[in-house]
Each structure stands twice: as C-alpha cells, then as structure tokens.
Structure 1
Amino acid sequence: MISVDSDRVIAIARSWLGTPYHDQASLKGVGCDCLGLARGVWREVVGPEPFPIPPYSRDWGESGPREVLADGARRMLPEIAPTDAPPGALILFRMMPRAIAKHVGILTGPDTFLHAYERLGVIEEPLTPTWRRRIALAFLFPQR
C-alpha cells in the first residue's frame, strides 16, 4: 500500500483547526473529537469511510485485552514504527500506562502535531516529551 502525499494530509488536517470539540462528531468547523478529526481527514484524503464507527468510551484510562482503535486503524492504514513516523502520519497515544490507546493525532512536523482536545477543539501544538512518550502506534494514510 502506497501512502498519500504528507503535505496534502497536513494541509487538510490544518483546515480543521479551530473546529470545536464535540464527542463522537466529525464535521469540520462544527465539531469533532480526536477520532472524528482523523475520520474527517480520511474522507478528504482517501474517500468514504469503509465501515461505521461504533460508539466508544471517553475513558483514557480504560484497559483491557483488545486495542479496538488500533485494530480498526490496522484494517485501513499501513502501520509503521512510531520512531519512523513522518509528518502526515496518524499517531495513537496511550494516555496512561497499561491503558489501551485512546487518543489520536496527526504529525504536522518533526516536533508538532494536530489533534482535537476537550475544551480546546482542534489545535496544533508542540510534540513535547510528555506527548512523545505516550505515542503507542503510528500509521500512514493510504492512496485513494
């Protein structure tokens, strides 16, 4: 699977900046959560979503045997090592030790990323050491 042009992914992701946070939504300029941002970028970069997204819990400390978000990403995107993730890559964060990966962002540079964050909406911010150590998985957007 060949990945899409990272500059295009970043430009599309940045077009979501300022979208208010809204749990389980995915409408540019209206509202989205972190997964909704990734879904919206997917629709603009790749096309229609291949399967419906079931409701999900907002609990970042959730643990369990299944990485539902990671498994879903693996069905649609080529996985790469987080250390090899270039700008334009989708990154999944494990917000608490031993918890499942439940937060999503898109790298916009070697030290910046974009994500939807409660109370702040879609923002771009530095990939600080605190954020960087939470990266659990990374994926590339495929060609249309």
Structure 2
Amino acid sequence: MAVPVSSDRDETRRKAVLAEARRWIGTPYRHQSSCRGAGSDCLGLLRGIWRALHGDEPQAMPPYSADWAETGGRETLLEAGRRWLLEIALEAAKPGDVLVFRWRDGMPAKHVGILSAPLQAAPRLIHAYERVGVIESPLVPSWQRRIAASFTFPEVHD
C-alpha cells in the first residue's frame, strides 16, 4: 500500500539520500559489490545508501547471478523493497526516492535507482549501470515506462 510522505523530516531524509547517492557517482560497475569508489551494482548502490543512513544493512545478501530475475521468477526486489522501504505512489516520488524497474512486461523487477530530479520536469536517475558504473542520467520515457514501483527510505532513528 502506498503511504503519503510529506514533512520537513522527509525532505531532509531525501536530501541526505540524494547527497549520498551523488557521492557514489563514478564508482565502477561490479556485480554483487557495494563499495563506494571500488565497485557497485544497482542493488549495491542502494545498500550503500542504507548503510550511510541507517548503519548495518537490514539483512545479509545472498550471492545472486546476473540473470537472477529471469531464472527465479519471483518479485524478489519488490518484496525486499516492501519489507525494508516505504512504498509510495509514483506520482508522489521526489528526488531522493527509490525507483524500481522491470526490463520487460511479465518479468520480475530487476533494477533500482535514485530519482535525482522531479518526474514532472526533466527527470534524472542515479543508478549503477552495467559496463558504465554509477552515473546520473536522464530518465527518458522508455525508462519511465518500465517503473514498477517507487519507495522512500524509512525515517532515520537516533
């Protein structure tokens, strides 16, 4: 269920997410990695941002193959998002929120990134892209059509 999210603390948290995501730009792409500057895949970027905000990751990551979504058939990425993040309506997504993508209709979602500019005007995405690394790129219409869900990070507790 999508939850409404709009408060000063939410905006502060989104800004912190975005600032941390930008620190990862230039990190080379490395499957299953999550080390800023050394290597990361898209999930590794999300994991690194979580660690920066919350400390330890909420669960240990099992090894996964590059074709995990095609062979597994489960919505593993969406299930984890719903377990650890707060799902929001796509229209409510703001810079600093997480977007999850489905490469093809009927296939499980397989890619994540951080929205870095509003969806309503020249949207952009920070994500780890295979053979490229962590980049900030335009969120073009062909990518926008592939968005499967949007999430925001939970509140940071002291």
Give the number of aligned pairs. 144
Q: TM-score, normalised by structure 2?
A: 0.84
CA RMSD of superposed structures (Å): 1.8
Alignment-mate amino acid for residue 14 of structure 1 = R
Identity of aligned residues (%): 52
> 2:81 aligned with 1:73, yes or no?
yes
- Give the match's secondary structure for 1:62: helix
Instruction: State which of 34, 39, 42 in structure 2 corresponds to 1:34.
Output: 42
| CA contact 2:69–2:109 (8 Å) conserved in 1 | no
Q: Distance in 2 between matches of 1:82 and 1:127?
A: 14
- Between structure 1 and structure 2, the one with the greater Rg is 2
Residues 113-140 of structure 1: CA deviation (Å, up to 9, x unaligned): 1000111100000010011111101110
Flag the structure with more relative contact order, 1 or 2, with Cα contacts below 8 A and sequence separation at least 6: 1
Instruction: State which of 108, 112, 123 in structure 1 corresponds to 2:116.
Output: 108
Gaps of 5+ in 1: none
Runs (4+) of structure 1 moved beyond 6 Å?
none
Residues 72-128 of structure 1: CA deviation (Å, up to 9, x unaligned): 111111101222211111111001111100101000111001000111100000010
More helix by share: 2
